[in-house]
């Protein structure tokens, strides 16, 4: 769809289909009583791929196509111990014939993190325990040097190329609104960390001329997620689009986003009572288990926002970026983990 309205992109930007689109828009009837109101909808990007849904598959249609166009045979990615990006890289990377190495930095060891590590072990990817942020950076550089020509995907895959996936997603939503499949939302709520999805949706809404507020529920520290970092992503993506098709700039309106910081708790990956309850509501909505890092905190924020006077009469849309289905756990997979990660897994089992 983005290629249709900005054909200059189609001539210069690599892309290959991975997602099953469009994803549906549904009313959040299953949690209406919990929210205390109607008029709340959900965009089902959890179902964006039968292999692994969530907000990475739209991005990887561009990113992995770029890696292939550059002749890379190996992907190095960086994420937390429970990183859905790392899992998406392993699954989609292997599906397209890439070798995958993931360098993982520490985060709280929840049941979700433990299962993620076991999933990584079963995926066939090379796993490097980065530890703290500094050592993770050093070990990432070492992993890149070890195989020349490797393609690096940083945490969140939030660069301008990847963000095209969610500019396009906003155009997809506009088509659904135009066809009467959903009302135009006054506000869109989603979890945000590296903030590429937030920035891209805000740019897409601006291009459409919508005054929709894109609300990012911050799931990491203010150092990593703030107006400065998000504005930089917006600018970089904006310039990328204009550079490839001048019609973009001529038609773009005002970017409208905000950051909701009330769901974070102690930090990235740390559970809160509200996030635990939110994760349960994810199951009510989708039938799939939620988690406390992203989806649980997004639901906790939605619950709070839906009751605020400023949003009480507004149409809200939850952009569901839950990564499903979770890969099946393989007995004995922990033996494939580095010793330091194997110890973490066995100590929490």
Specify whether 123 is catalytic. Answer: no
Q: Which strands sit side by side in the sheet containing 126-131, from one edge to the other?
A: 126-131, 99-105, 74-80, 151-153
Distance in angstroms (rounded) separating the CA atoms of residues 167 and 177: 16
- 284 SS3 class: helix
Contact present, 91 and 65 (Cβ < 8 Å): no
Catalytic-labelled residue, pool 38, 49, 72, 83: 83
337/317 Cα distance (integer angstroms): 39
C-beta separation of 60 from 157 below 8 A: yes
Question: Quick one: three-class SS letters along 205-270?
Answer: HHHHCCCCEEEEEECCCCCCCCHHHHHHHHHHHHHHHHHHCCHHHHHCCCCCEEEECCCCCCCCCC
Q: How many CB atoms lie within 10 A of CB 181?
A: 13
Strand 40-44 relative to strand 25-27: parallel, antiparallel, unpaired?
Answer: antiparallel
Query: What are the beta bridge partners of residue 74?
Result: 99
Peptide bond into 22 cis (omega under 30): yes
| One-character DSSP codes across 142-205 | HHHHHSTT-EEE-GGG-SHHHHHHHHHHHHHHHHHHHTTSSPPPSEEEEEESS-HHHHHHHHHH
Cα angle 216, 219, 223 (rounded to 5 degrees) comes to 95
Three-state secondary structure call for residue 127: strand
The residues carrying an active-site annotation are 83
């Amino acid at each position: 769809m983005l290629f249709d309205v900005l054909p200059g992109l189609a001539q210069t930007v690599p892309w290959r289909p991975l997602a099953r689109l469009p994803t549906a828009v549904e009313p959040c009837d299953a949690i209406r009583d919990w929210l205390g109101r109607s008029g709340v909808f959900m965009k089902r990007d959890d179902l964006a791929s039968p292999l692994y849904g969530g907000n990475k598959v739209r991005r990887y249609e561009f990113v992995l196509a770029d890696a292939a166009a550059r002749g890379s045979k190996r992907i190095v990615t960086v994420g937390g111990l429970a990183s859905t990006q790392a899992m998406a890289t392993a699954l989609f990377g292997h599906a397209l014939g890439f070798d995958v190495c993931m360098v993982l930095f520490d985060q709280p060891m929840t049941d979700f993190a433990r299962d993620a590590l076991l999933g990584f072990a079963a995926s066939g990817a090379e796993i490097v325990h980065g530890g703290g942020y500094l050592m993770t950076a050093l070990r990432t550089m070492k992993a890149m040097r070890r195989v020349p020509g490797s393609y690096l995907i940083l945490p969140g895959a939030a660069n301008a190329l990847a963000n095209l996936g969610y500019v396009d997603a906003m155009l997809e939503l506009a088509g659904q609104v135009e066809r009467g499949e959903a009302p135009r939302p006054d506000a869109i709520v989603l979890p945000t960390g590296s903030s590429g999805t937030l920035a891209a949706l805000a740019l897409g809404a601006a291009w459409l001329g919508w005054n929709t507020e894109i609300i990012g529920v911050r799931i990491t520290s203010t150092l990593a997620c703030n107006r400065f970092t998000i504005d930089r992503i917006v600018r970089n993506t904006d310039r990328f689009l204009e550079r490839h098709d001048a019609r973009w700039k001529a038609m773009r309106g005002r970017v409208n986003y905000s950051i909701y910081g009330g769901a974070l708790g102690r930090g990235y990956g740390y559970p809160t009572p509200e996030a635990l309850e939110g994760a349960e509501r994810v199951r009510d909505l989708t039938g799939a288990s939620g988690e406390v890092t992203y989806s649980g905190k997004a639901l906790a924020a939605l619950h709070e926002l839906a009751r605020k006077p400023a949003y009480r009469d507004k149409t809200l849309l939850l952009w569901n970026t839950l990564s499903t289905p979770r890969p099946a756990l393989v007995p004995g997979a922990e033996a494939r983990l580095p010793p330091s990660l194997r110890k973490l897994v066995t100590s929490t089992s």
